[in-house]
Structure 1
């Protein structure tokens, strides 16, 4: 009996299984970025500080206005097919002020199903509403680290498409 096809099949399965476990844990590179864009339909970006992030509201990785300008280690994960996003940053000298939702009653914001290694699973119960941007965010603070997420729900009183700011598109 010829075992060569069996050995080739077993080696192929081994390589694919190893890749399935290893690829999500690799640092960002062209292969993982392509998988994220094509398979998961999402993209991530990292900035050394909030000042390094785009300022135009239409930019895919623009930060909400309520994030302090001296925030550092900013990470953003966005859904390419909608408004869902995750944001993580570290507070600088400027503290994060209290929640701002004075224009109406905030709606529940679902945690988007985005894939980010830096995102803790247990934040849902810690979130508070933040409505000073076109989209309403949920925000959780753990020490100096701040986590914010949105599913694209417009802020109360912001109008049908999120008020004055244009919707964010992938560019």
Structure 2
């Protein structure tokens, strides 16, 4: 019996699995994007600035309106089968404040079940702003200029009334 096709198939599966699990910080590529989308039901995108992200509200990677346009190194991870999102960005000159982001006691919200190696908020040592909102309520942790925001899709009242 010729075992060569089985060895090639096993090696191919091993390489694809390694690429998907061990190397998620690589630039987007067809292999990891396909596995993330088909297996984990997740997609991710990275933008140099928030202004580079889609502006249309219904777009998959549209950012909430409370994120300043001069924010840089914006990363977003979304659940393709729901409203969960992880967002990380660095603040520019525009501070994170105003009526859409206030400090306070957080409403109960589940953590989104998304996976990203760049996602490491430590809320114990961060300024927490719990009412950042647009269409969804976001919990936010600010570490100096780095901001981590997440939502499980919990709707929130519109910030502008």
TM-score normalized by the length of structure 1: 0.75
1:21 counterpart residue number: 18
Q: Partners in 2 of 1:163 and 1:74 — Cα distance?
A: 22
Partner of 2:102: 100
Residues 49 and 74 in structure 1, CA contact (< 8 A), matched pair in contact too = yes
CA contact under 8 A between 2:132 and 2:140: conserved in structure 1? no
For the residues of structure 1 that align with 2:159 and 2:140, how far apart are their CA atoms? 20
Contact 1:140 1:148 in 2 (8 A): yes
Once superposed, which parts of structure 1, at least 4 consecutive aligned residues long, lie more than 3 Å away? Answer: 7-19, 122-128
The root-mean-square deviation of aligned C-alpha atoms, in Å, is 2.7
- Structure 2 residues not aligned, in runs of 5+: none
Retained in 2: the 8 A contact 1:50–1:72? yes
Question: Normalising to structure 2: TM-score of the pair?
Answer: 0.79
- Cα shift at 1:45: 1.0
Q: Per the alignment, in what secondary structure is the counterpart of residue 146 of structure 1?
A: strand
Flag the 1:116–1:100 CA change in 2: closer, same or farther, 3 A: same
Structure having the larger proportion of residues in strand = 2
Tell me, yes or no, if the aligned pair for 2:46 and 2:73 is still in contact at 8 Å: yes
The verdict on how the C-alpha distance between 1:146 and 1:12 changes in structure 2, with shifts beyond 3 A counting, is same
1:109-145 deviation digits (Å, cap 9, x = unpaired): 222111212111x546555412431210010112211
